[in-house]
């Protein structure tokens, strides 16, 4: 699949990254659009030593996952937590000992054709308009489309 890969402060478009195989409890999501935010730019500048696929703001469709989510359009919660460590059990999910963060810490991100995330950490988008959802003034982001979705992400 295609992916924007960060390594040693250099980004490059790769087309040889395998489609991820979702581990148990995770879903495979086909990415339609992803937003570029300042965190991505800071990662490229080297503020945190991340190697892998960038991107943590996206909308996509669940390809593999639990029945109620399959085929649904979803957005992502960027923090992926284990749900069973002492912090998770105490309700402090952001302090999970095994936490990964989409496209930032220990988990490949959304600037790719596919990504995986734990199933419970995703929720359906609030807006019916895909483009508007990712490009509200509040987020101030740019949009990035992939594959067949590129037609509706094109700017006038
Ligand atoms: Zn961000
Ligand atoms: Zn945990």
pLDDT in tens, 32-76: 999 999 999 999 999 889 999 999 999 999 999 888 888 988 887
Domain annotation covers residue 34:
yes
Separation of 44 CA from ligand 2 center, angstroms?
A: 28
Q: What CATH number is associated with residue 121?
A: 3.90.180.10
Domain annotation covers residue 134:
no
The tally of CA atoms less than 13 A away on the side-chain side of residue 149 is: 21
Per the structure, the complete domain to which residue 61 belongs is given by 3-125
Task: Report the pLDDT value the prediction gives residue 114, as an integer from 0 to 100.
Answer: 97
The residues placing their C-beta within 5 Å of ligand 2, an ion, are 81-82, 85, 88, 96
- Looking at the structure of the chain, the number of domains it has is 1
Length of the chain counted residue by residue:
156
Q: CA-to-CA distance for 153 and 156, rounded, in angstroms?
A: 9
């Amino acid at each position: 699949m295609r992916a924007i890969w960060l390594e040693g402060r250099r980004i490059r478009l790769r087309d040889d990254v395998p489609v991820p195989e979702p581990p148990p409890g995770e879903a495979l999501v086909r990415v339609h659009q992803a937003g570029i935010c300042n965190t991505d730019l800071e990662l490229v500048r080297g503020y945190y030593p991340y190697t892998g696929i960038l991107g943590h703001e996206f909308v996509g469709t669940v390809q593999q996952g639990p029945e109620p989510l399959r085929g649904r359009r979803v957005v992502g919660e960027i923090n992926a937590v284990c749900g069973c460590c002492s912090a998770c059990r105490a309700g402090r999910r952001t302090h999970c000992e095994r936490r990964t963060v989409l496209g930032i810490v220990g988990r490949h991100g959304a600037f790719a054709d596919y990504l995986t995330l734990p199933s419970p950490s995703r929720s359906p988008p609030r807006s019916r308009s895909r483009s508007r959802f990712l490009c509200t003034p509040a987020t101030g982001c740019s949009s990035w489309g992939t594959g067949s979705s590129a037609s509706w992400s094109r700017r006038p």
